[in-house]
Amino acid sequence: MSIAVIDVGSGSVRMLLDGKKTTIMTKLGEGLNASGRLSAEPIGRTLKIIKKFVEEAARVKAEVFVFATEAVRAAENCADFICAVKRECGIDLDVISGNEEAEIALLGAAPSGDATVVDIGSASVEIVSGCGGSPAYVRSLPIGMVRLTEQSDGDPELLRAYAASGIAKFGDVRLRETLIGVGGTFTSLAAMKLGLETYDPEKVQGTRLSVKDVSALAESLLEAGSPEKIKEKYPILPDVRCELITAGALFVSELLAYLGADGITVSESDNLDGYLRYKEMGA
């Protein structure tokens, strides 16, 4: 029997089924930063997509696992959302911790465990360094790109300041020789660097983003300004990603400087793949 894994994130719901990933933006975390709660409309959008994915998996008789990350675990009404998923979609939702999120990202992007993996999401950022298959450093912080964008109201100097302040909280990261980036920020920047007109995961996989690449992309996004202008310049980006990618590029720029790294390698294999491997190991 095949396994379907569904990731309920702050910005999107994603499914991995038979080697294929499908992403639908639902903005579950919309307004969470201000209210501390998941709102009714985003919940409704998200439940609809979870149910759709569960039904798709059922048609091929796949075993289904659904996990949620920072937006759900941080929400005051987390328990209500878990109950709604069970009621509307007939599935148990696994709300994983920040450390677990980091560790499955490592398992997905670097199964050998010998790498440092950065997972940038809409509501949180995780950094994990593996050594001999065990995490030597792991930390999750609630400084995702939606939160940075909302806090700064799009002001680039505030964005840089908030990013630098948040990144400093990672402290002394035990950096490994191999540095890997996962998540929509990294894959989007890779697609932009490559000038893709249609998203191609095989081309994105393994793309190297140098400090110079990230700086140039950040400047290009700042010159474009509004999400509408960014969409015109980079039509490959989904509309929601156009609202967040400037924060993402500036965050990556600040992060590479903090880590003293000259670049980062983008991986298409991420926490979806990691969670699948985790379940296949019988966890």
Q: How many structural domains comprise the chain? A: 2
**Residues 83 and 139 placed together within one structural domain of the fold:** no
148 and 75, same domain (yes or no):
no
- Residues 31, 129 share a domain: no
What CA–CA distance (Å, rounded) separates 273 from 118?
A: 15
User: Could you tell me which residue, 129 or 1, shows the higher pLDDT?
Assistant: 129
Range of the domain at 235: 112-266
Domain identity same for 132 and 37: no
Q: Is the pLDDT of residue 208 over 80?
A: yes
Asked if residue 188 and residue 69 are part of one domain, the reply reads: no
Q: Is the pLDDT of residue 11 over 80?
A: yes
Checking if the pLDDT of 162 tops 70, the result is: yes
* 126 & 258 share domain: yes
Q: 118 and 236: one domain?
A: yes
In a domain, 273, yes or no: no
Q: How confident is the model at residue 234 (pLDDT cuts 50, 70, 90)?
A: very high
Claim to verify: residue 151 and residue 222 sit in the same structural domain: yes
Asked if residue 160 has pLDDT above 80, the reply is yes
- Is residue 178 included in any domain, yes or no? yes
Q: What is the model's pLDDT at position 128?
A: 97
Average pLDDT over residues 94-106: 95
**Is 103 inside any structural domain?**
no
For residue range 119-140, list pLDDT tens digits in order: 999 899 999 999 876 789 999 9
Contacts for 23-26: CB closer than 8 Å, 24+ residues apart: 23/184, 24/49, 25/238, 25/239, 25/240, 25/241
- Region of 130 please: left (phi>0), alpha (psi -120 to 50) or beta: beta
Does one domain contain both 154 and 35? no
241-252 pLDDT, tens digit per residue, is 999 999 999 999
The CATH number assigned to the domain holding 76 equals 3.30.420.40
Query: Does residue 127 belong to any structural domain of this protein?
Result: yes
- Angle at 26 (CA atoms; ends 54, 61), nearest 5 degrees: 10
Global pTM? 0.94
Q: For all residues of the chain together, what is the average pLDDT?
A: 94
Q: What is the mean pLDDT of residues 235-246?
A: 93
